[in-house]
Structure 1
Amino acid sequence: MGRVIVVGSINQDITVTVDRLPQPGETLSGTSTTYRLGGKGANQAAAAAHGGAAAVFVGRVGGDPSGITLREELGAHGVDVSALRTDEEVTSGIAFITVSTAGENTIILDAGANGRVTGRQAVDAVALTEHDVVVLQGEIPSSANEEVISWAHGAGARVVLNLAPVRPVSPRALADVDVLVVNETECGLVLDAPPPGTAAAAAAAAAKLRNRGPARVLVTLGPDGAVRASADEVTHVAAIDLGPVVDTTGAGDACVGVLAAALAAGCDFPQAVAEGMRAGSTAVLSAGAAASYAGIAPVEPRL
């Protein structure tokens, strides 16, 4: 059974809940404010750990008090944080999140120390094996992602790339990606086209994305489920409804992290997608990103 190695971002999430999202120029009163662990990389590492994987996080925090707190919080989720470096001269990444009572959210990011993550940092910190799964997102520099993709592919490890937010990726790097994960908005941005509005449109878009190089593609569609594409098939996967939606903030990261955990546990791609989607559906049942992952069930090893 392999490990999940996440190279990515870690943020201090400051979340304000409101009755509805504000219009441009409008001031609303919030109903509560919370400070929690966030960042797509940290969230995905936490989800992988809750999904039963041995999860290792490679990233950077600043020399501010948030950096200390974030390290402790991520470690409390069962993630190995020995490769999480501290840059004393900068601040930690921060995310300002607004969540409505309907569960919708808006997010503003300040990268902080995340902008200093490099591929060399990962190479120096982790001895990869062919059983490992390396997870990347768009919240660290593109150059770091491309370095890590090359390193992981060369070691025989599998690569899961979540292009969120969308950043440029060279065709050569995409060809070394085992699973590309995007939501419908990101799918449109990558293809320079409108976001797919139906499952059929998402299926066509997923096939186009796979033709750009990655071996497999997953396009998530929120309440409409997802579409997975591989060399053998393009399939719509129905959403899993586990209860009322409280907060969608960490759902996508839960899906990615547990998908990676499932691959590391020996699941094939369809099985891993199913595990990831169940984790995402679990995450929306409570508030926060990583804070909502306690209910995620571990993946049963298939090795």
Structure 2
Amino acid sequence: MTPITEVEGRRLALSNLEKVLYPATGFTKGELLHYYATTADVLLPHLRDRPLSFLRYPDGPDGQLFFAKNVPPGTPDWVVTAEVPRAEGPARMVLVQDLASLVWAANLVTEFHTPQWVIEAPGEADRLVFDLDPGAPATVVECCEVALWLRERLAADGIAAYAKTSGSKGLHLLAAVRPASSERVTEYAKGLAVEAEKAMPGLVVHRMTRSLRPGKVFVDWSQNAARKTTAAPYTVRARAEPTVSAPVTWEEVAGCRSAGQLVFLAPDMAPRLREYGDLLEPLLDAGGAGALP
């Protein structure tokens, strides 16, 4: 029998709560839903007004993974959706604006991915993102070194950067910027990636070419493109364990000496939130956004 629960006055059918999604740790779908419900206060502001792409993994990370950009079949009529312009024609996408919508979406078993713009201004970026991706044998330790360089470089332009783990092998750097076209933000980010490679040629590569990447950190600037999305803060990832894309302090970045130091699982997040609150909260303050030079 599918349990029906009520969330903020909405009736939701939640399925397969006992199902183990992460065999490595025994983490169940019920635990995943509990994680999202209890993290909603810090997660929702980072999703709000951003049309979401869902990376769905209903049978766990070892099963089939598929990206859903359009509104999934069976979406309740109270979930907010919006028309989004696309090169191939407009599409209707989901906006997760409240707890009920979050629990509904989490029941589909999904990673949440957001663009760097809000629905009122598609293609007008208010976020800048770098995805620092280590090529083995490099790890997040090398990503941290690059992140510290980029943080200083952005600060020189009056832009404050914040870090989170990708929930995979690398690190994401985020900054709030005064709205500018996605093209302009992409161009600026690419320029900084090229600068980083010149400053640290043994450590950084700005091109995606696989053969260039072993032992280096790929500074991926391309996720600033209007059509691209990035794993949202606090989303659980479809990895072997229920790793979270977790905000981290700059002290943790500077002090990182081994890859395991910056791995956070869903159960680790409640104590971190009690200790730090939302480390990415400054991104939500439009008054703190930096202007591109």
TM-score, normalised on structure 2?
A: 0.32
Rg larger in 1 or in 2?
2
